[in-house]
Structure 1
Amino acid sequence: MYLADSRTAPATTAGNRGPRSRRAAAVPGTVLALGAVSLITDVSSEMVTAVLPLYLVAGLGLSPLGFGLLDGLYNGVGALVRLVGGRLADRGEGGHKTVAAVGYGLSALCKPLLLVAHSLPLIGAVLAADRTGKGLRTAPRDAMISLACEPAGRGRAFGVHRAMDTAGALLGPLLAFLVLRAAAEGYDAVFVVSGCAAALGVLVLLLFVPGRRTDSADSRHRRHPADRVPLRELLRRPGVRRLTCCAMLLGLTTVSDSFLYLTLQRRLNLPESWFPLLPLGTAGTFLLLAVPLGAVADRFGRRRLFLCGHLALLGAYALLVAPLGGSSALACLVLALHGCFYASTDGVLAAATADAVPRAVRGSGLAVVQTGQATARFVCSIAFGAAWTVWGERTALGAAAAGLFVSAALSALLLRPSPTDVTPESAR
């Protein structure tokens, strides 16, 4: 893999760019810098996520109902502010970096505040602020990635970024485990180290990510007033509308990771002390497959791979529902399929959305699709929790699998290529 720093590489035209140069432009320096920011920030976030349930329930004596409310708040708030972040980022040159920096900075400030928040309202406010920061930064960050690379290499670029991000997700729980074992005031030490890591991530963003758009094929053209599209007009674009509908359809049947891990733990009769290791299986597979599947998406179609990723998730559901005995092989296969699902959908959806959205409103377009998906997944979590309570985990997961099959079939019809879709070339 050849890497090119987008701040120093000379602009070239598509006509005189050879195969080696096209490969180099696939992963510019801006993407690597943003990947480093995400890696460091994910170490910080996952340190807190790994210990938060135990800290709240065992340390502060919070009831399961109280924790459920906080968990819903933690996962739902970010979806509500993504549109704001995307829209603000599209205003003016350098707006993407500014809004992303505010989002990363807000999350960094929240980590040490957990040291002094000891009641449900205060902890809820801190978690809501943290998720607000994540919601603000996600669309601008993905817009910077899409604008820094050639359209033909977006899948690879997003794959590299998501691989670096997932490396942080692997390191965070391990670091939290080591800090808890080494420090006398374990939880406080985790929050302090997490805050320092988050601050380092903001510093890397400010120092190493260019504030202005780079000279990729998307940004070598001057902005024109006609490129500014009102937010309501975005959903009238067939490509954006269909992607949003599919993301929501599939999101409504995408069971929360926590429920999937809990179902697997019960199938295997796994000791509770081993439960925190299950997400590492998903993250490890995601890390290994993110870059190669991003390249596959560039070559064979991003929308097609996005749908195939949900078929991998359907396979994981089927294995958990099937009357198979619990074994380590079952666990490995389920976690591998789960990681393949994320590697085939997370960055791939962002790359596919960038194909359908003009550069001047790239942040807004990404936010529209991501908000629809996140909101649908939040609804699914609530519905699946209720179904689990009434029917039991296996019946509830079987219903989710049937819904996912239907959603995938409908999405395959919606995502068929259309002459009215906006391509990267026409979006310039």
Structure 2
Amino acid sequence: METVALVALTLLLGVLVALVAFAVGKRKEELQETAEQTSVSAGNAAKAPVSKKQNKLDKHRGRKEKTSQHNFSHPLLASSLKGHGSYVTCLDFSSNGKYLASCSEDRTVRLWNTKDFLDREHKYLRANVELDHATLVRFSPDSRAFITWLANEDTMRVYKMSKKDDGTMGFKAAPKDFPIKHKAEIINIGVAENGKFIMSAYSDTTIHIWDLKGQILASINTNQMINAYVAISPCGRFVASCGFTPDVKVWEVCFSKNGEFKEVTRAFELKGHSAGMRAFAFSNDSNKMVTLSKDGTWKSWNTNVEYKKQQDPYLLKTVKCSSSDGSLVAMSPDGRVVAISNGCNVAMYNVSSGALEERFLSVHCIQIEDLRFDTTGRYLASCGDKAIRVFHNAPGYRATIQDMQDMLKKAQNEGMKLRLEKQISEAQRALKTVLSARVS
């Protein structure tokens, strides 16, 4: 009897073990199948083309995940302009020096008064972008209007400043936006300082030259595989581009004496880097340029040459620096200082010596979107998160003092010596004031 019971118990245990083994094996198969499906789905997602609007949504979503408040301080910080409800994407100083324009994902363009930079309160005029938001903004030469690039409509819109009935300033959009003429992603727009044309540049190899009424005058194929950066020179004569190739190409936009458009011709090229380009910048008189490359250097150039007689620009200085994808470069109006962004950081160099003068770390909580000097050369502004940082251009003061001291040593006229000594003294006092300033 006991033997029969023992046999039955053994059989029961065997059945239980078999059932457990079957269940475990089945679960492993299910898990493996799920993993394979996930892998296939991920692979298909990776292969699927991502639309331009999806890229915009992903970028916007990534920004939303960033902290909404980023604290930054530095002895040379003149002010932090706060007021935008979302990330600031572009900056531009008016040629009369009175305004700084900023556009944001909050569907506004704001014009800040530069004379308030050192005050606690920062005044601004606000223009609403209906049913869209601007990613780029540029002033007209008379500083009474500005153009924007609309993120969703993929075109340009003009806004004009005007006085309201109550005496305050307001903005009115032009009746029609510019026509859509290209489908590639926009990288920059610009208005020539002479008021003769508008430029739009795209991420492929295309640049459009427009008249002020929205008609295309000419199109340029840069033949650089991609356009990394494109800009109009401050003098309004040239359009320059850089991209995959290790050079910067410069074209002249030609008009007749009576103002009629003639043609776009190649002016000159800046050659000498050993890798693709990131960005470039002009001095205010367009007689100097700075180029930033993936080869780990920036170069300064004398571009005041007779290019129509095949004279090439002169290389002045090559300086090692740190940069990355998305890095920007700005040159002070007098050509004495270069500023370079690298992620969230900014470095300032003396152009003549190539010396690193200042370094600002973690200026914004995300990559810097724009970097530029004001027209007086007193300030350097950057944007990236919701705040705009405005720095004193202390390296500019130092470079000016050094240049005038060198001139003083060579001066032979007593009147010239007295004027230089006075200017040096004034610049030294201004620098001392800047270095003693603090922003909380």
In the superposition, the TM-score normalised over structure 1's length comes to 0.25
In the superposition, the TM-score normalised over structure 2's length comes to 0.25
Larger relative contact order (CA 8 Å, sep ≥ 6): 1
User: Relative to total residues, which structure has the larger helix share, 1 or 2?
Assistant: 1
Structure with larger Rg:
2
